[in-house]
Amino acid sequence: MTSKTLDVIASDSGCSSAPPDRDNLGLARQAIYNHLTGLFPHGCRRVLLVTPPESPENDFNHHLVLSKRYPCFPPYGPGILARNLEQRGYRSALLDLNFHVLKHVHENPSNFSFQIWKEKLAEKIEEFQPDLIGISVMFTISRPSLADVAAFLKSHYPSRPIIAGGVCVSNDVESILRTVPQIDIGSFYEGDRSFPDLLDVINGKQPESEIRQVAILTGEQLVSTKERATPSDREMDIQPEYYDLPIGDYSRYGSMGAYNFMRGERTASTIISNRGCRAMCSFCAVRNFNDISVRGRAVSNVADEMERLYTTYGVTHFMWLDDDLLYNGKRAIALFNEITRRNLRITWDASNGLIAAAITPEIMQAASESGCIGFNLGLESGNDRILKSIHKPGTTKSYRQARAILDRYPHVFVKGFMIIGFPHETIAQIRDTVNLGCELQFGWYPLQLLTTLPGTEITVSMIEQGLITPPTDASFKGLAAGSKSKGGGTLRQRERAEKYEALEFVDLLQTLPADHVPTSAELDDLWFVADYRMNYEKLLHVHEPIKLRNIRVMLQQITDEYTVDNAMGNLFLAVIASKLREFGESQRRLTLAKRFQEESAYWTKRFTVLGMREIADRVRTLNALAIPLAA
């Protein structure tokens, strides 16, 4: 506790084993209660829950919106909160500004206004007349939008208090309150119980001792009560209340998970079965938000919700929001079997990821029969020492065991999440990651540089070691093709900047010493080489036709929609077409690859250094002979 902070942590919070300081706890609650009575002299009964645009205007790329690259998720968490508020006797309403902005772009591609959200927000406030406005923010990228919405509200509706919550706020509530002064109350962790309790306190239904998971600023002092109010089964095992939101339209205007290329035109929505995660990954914020337990809903209620979405909105594809869908293997099998029994004929994906060590033959059989088309595996590294240091619930042995099971289901698209840039990670350890990715031959490997989320174990450790300095706003480096930033991401920006004169490019994965810990600048080029080896060059060794066709669908999306002058993407689409004996298509892609390579110094250097010229020549020769490319 600093001189400017009155911060009380309860013993069951997962943050400390020490008993709570009852004197400070009482002082904090009293200060918050006084603040609340000033904000709500006549009580609070009507709450408007708002989801801001995910991307701020200055980073908004409407061309990527038209390619449905931007996420467009139904506000599941606010929907659950709305249901809990209604059960306590309060009135609530939902407003999804992200949905309205994306829809507006699709309906007015040449004459859209990002500021449409202000009009929608004003309309809803005039219609609903809320006593309190809650803003829910999931990702750090939405922080500027949170600030914009809060500023608009305070400017136009100064008498209406604002509360902000969600994962982004929970990660660093003090920073949010200090940088967005228009926010009156910060709410952190799951709010299904704590938020209705807060309203009960405001309205005199419960004592001030029920104030939990709340923070305010009084002058320069942060006052917070971090004692958790973990939702009970009654508050968690319920279906979201969406009111008049057009849930069936969401997947028309944006992406929903990582498997849009697999689900095609199916109407999609989201659903959750478990909250929390058994894993203790040091870089992840899930346990900070959901606490250390994993809590599951009743199988029948989950299936009922899927059936309701199917019947009401025509949803035929579901993305699981679970961070640990397979936590209880028997329950997971029962859930998948229940989906099959109801004969809904839906498909599903697990974009938030599965734990590889939890995959069994029985689970995969039930998952496949129930409509699984793809999922992510959080692999992170191919080096067991790194995996141990970041507390991954798996080893390279368990990854290989999962691969042996998954090979029987080539129609299921598997992505293996990988990270490089861990503290003190050496070139040899990065090579292990690349080699394992090539060996496992999963469909794709989304690769990122380590992102330091506020409050996570690895971030705290890196600050203590002097490797990074606070504040850490978890700025994600969008290196991958099709990044959602306005400039297309760091890689895309560099590609354009080096079109006529490229900087030096070297295969650092091969040239740097094995014990070398790469610098931040070296990691950018290492990322490119690792991505190339695991995702592109590995296609030379993939022969299963179903797997090749599935990878092609995804690579076509990247190459034809996100980065239309991508020489490397076209080259490896030519590789896939050759393997599938589609020699005319292979030759067409080779022609595009050669054109884009010759027009770009950036691509010319990479084709030369990484041996892509030789691959192109080989495919071209085999096409002329109508011989498919072999390994």
Confidence category of residue 453, pLDDT binned at 50, 70, 90 = confident
Q: What is the CATH number of domain 5-231?
A: 3.40.50.280
**Cα–Cα distance for residue pair 499/603, rounded to 1 Å:** 8
- Residue-range domain boundaries for the chain: 5-231, 256-476, 478-506+542-631
What confidence tier does 484 reach under pLDDT thresholds 50, 70, 90?
Answer: low
Mean pLDDT of the chain: 91
In this prediction, residue 19 has a pLDDT band, given cuts at 50, 70 and 90, of very low
Span 482-492, average pLDDT: 61
pLDDT of 17 reads 35
Nearest Cα residue to 200 out of 122, 88, 299: 88
Q: Among the listed ranges 295-304, 428-437, 473-482, 558-567, which one has the minimum average pLDDT value? A: 473-482
DSSP 389-412: HTT-S--HHHHHHHHHHHTT-TTS
Q: Is the pLDDT of residue 16 over 70?
A: no
CATH number of 256-476: 3.80.30.20
Out of 47-51, 228-232, 274-278, the most confident range is: 47-51
In the prediction, which pLDDT does 278 show?
Answer: 93
- At 51 the pLDDT is 97
pLDDT at 30: 94
The pLDDT of residue 18 is: 39
Summarize pLDDT for 172-197 with one digit per residue, the tens. Answer: 899 999 999 999 999 999 999 999 99
- The lowest-confidence range among 53-62, 461-470, 487-496, 607-616 is 487-496
Q: How many CB atoms lie within 10 A of CB 471?
A: 12
Indicate the pTM of the whole model: 0.91
- Banded model confidence at residue 10, pLDDT cuts 50, 70, 90: very low
Amino acid letter, residue 200: D
Torsion, Cα 462 466 468 469, to 10 degrees, reads: 120
Task: Please determine, for residue 152, whether its predicted confidence score (pLDDT) is greater than 60.
Answer: yes
DSSP 562-630: I-TT-HHHHHHHHHHHHHTT-HHHHHHHHHHHHHHHHT-HHHHHHHHHTTHHHHHHHHHHHHHTT----
Q: Check if the beta carbon of residue 251 is closer than 8 Å to that of residue 319.
A: no
pLDDT attached to residue 375:
97
Q: Is the pLDDT of residue 472 over 70?
A: no
The stretch 592-612 carries a mean pLDDT of: 97
Q: What is the spatial distance between Cα 631 and Cα 541, in angstroms, rounded to a whole number?
A: 5
Q: DSSP assignment of 528-573, as one string?
A: HHHHIIIIIGGGGG---HHHHHHHHHHHHIIIIII-TT-HHHHHHH
Give the per-residue pLDDT at 477. 52
Give the phi and the psi of residue 444 in degrees, each rounded to 5: -155, 160
Mean of pLDDT values over 273-295: 89
Q: Is the pLDDT of residue 168 over 80?
A: yes
- For the segment 98-122, the average pLDDT, to the nearest whole number, is 96
Mean pLDDT of 303-321: 97
pLDDT at residue 456 greater than cutoff 90: no
Mean pLDDT along residues 97-124: 96
Mean pLDDT across 98-103: 97
Q: Which of 89-103, 294-308, 488-502 has the least mean pLDDT?
A: 488-502
Q: What would the mean pLDDT of 588-597 be, rounded to a whole number?
A: 98
> Which tens digits make up the pLDDT trace of 299-311?
999 999 999 999 9
Cβ neighbors of 585 (< 8 A, separation 6 or more) are 574, 577
Report the C-alpha gap between 126 and 194 in whole angstroms.
27
- Select the more confidently predicted residue: 476 or 389: 389
The residue that leads in pLDDT, 496 or 309, is: 309
